[in-house]
Amino acid sequence: MSDSSRASERYKQGMATRRAVLGDSHVDRAEAGSTDFDKPFQDLITEAAWGHVWSRPTLSKRERSIVTIALLAALGQDDEVAMHVRATVNTGASRDDVCEALLHVAIYAGVPAANHAIKIAKQVFEQMDADKAA
């Protein structure tokens, strides 16, 4: 939706939620890197994932974050796991929450999936700690 005056209310809400969860710098990079080829996809995820699902009031951002990390880990979506682990700083999900989610992944989706996601989460948390210390 390159013309913001034509953006639907759901898109606008989705963009606000996306920015609140992932942070302005992440969203700005994604938008800046968008091309004519993937702009429709960026619009879709902003409106559908962030506007329709993440913006619903029933679950908190913390709860959605935990569910999302578990699902992504179970599906082996490594880059998305890392992105959503980084987003915990904005969602209120704690490191203990992430650990608990990944324990569920081990039981319900398999130990290898959880083991790999734990490795990713540890790396992300180490980088977050290093960035905070700098």
- Which conformational region is residue 25 in: left (phi greater than 0), alpha (psi within -120 to 50 degrees), or beta? alpha
Q: Are 82 and 68 in contact (CB under 8 A)?
A: no
- Say what the pLDDT of residue 117 is: 98
- Say what the pLDDT of residue 45 is: 96
- In order of their start, the domains of the chain are 7-58 (no CATH), 60-134 (1.20.1290.10)
Q: 11-27: per-residue pLDDT in tens? A: 999 999 999 999 999 99
Q: 102-125: per-residue pLDDT in tens? A: 999 999 999 999 999 999 999 999
Picking from 74, 103, 72, the residue whose alpha carbon sits closest to that of residue 88 is 72
- Say what the pLDDT of residue 1 is: 55
Cβ neighbors of 92 (< 8 A, separation 6 or more) are 60, 61, 62, 65
Note the pTM of the prediction, 2 decimals: 0.92
| pLDDT surpasses 70 at 2 | no
Q: 38-78: per-residue pLDDT in tens? A: 999 999 999 999 999 999 999 999 999 999 999 999 999 99
- Say what the pLDDT of residue 7 is: 82
DSSP string, 15-84: HHHHHHHH-HHHHHHHHHT--TTTHHHHHHIIIIIIIIITT-SSS-HHHHHHHHHHHHHHHT-HHHHHHH
What mean pLDDT is predicted for residues 87-109?
98
| pLDDT surpasses 60 at 129 | yes
| pLDDT surpasses 70 at 3 | no
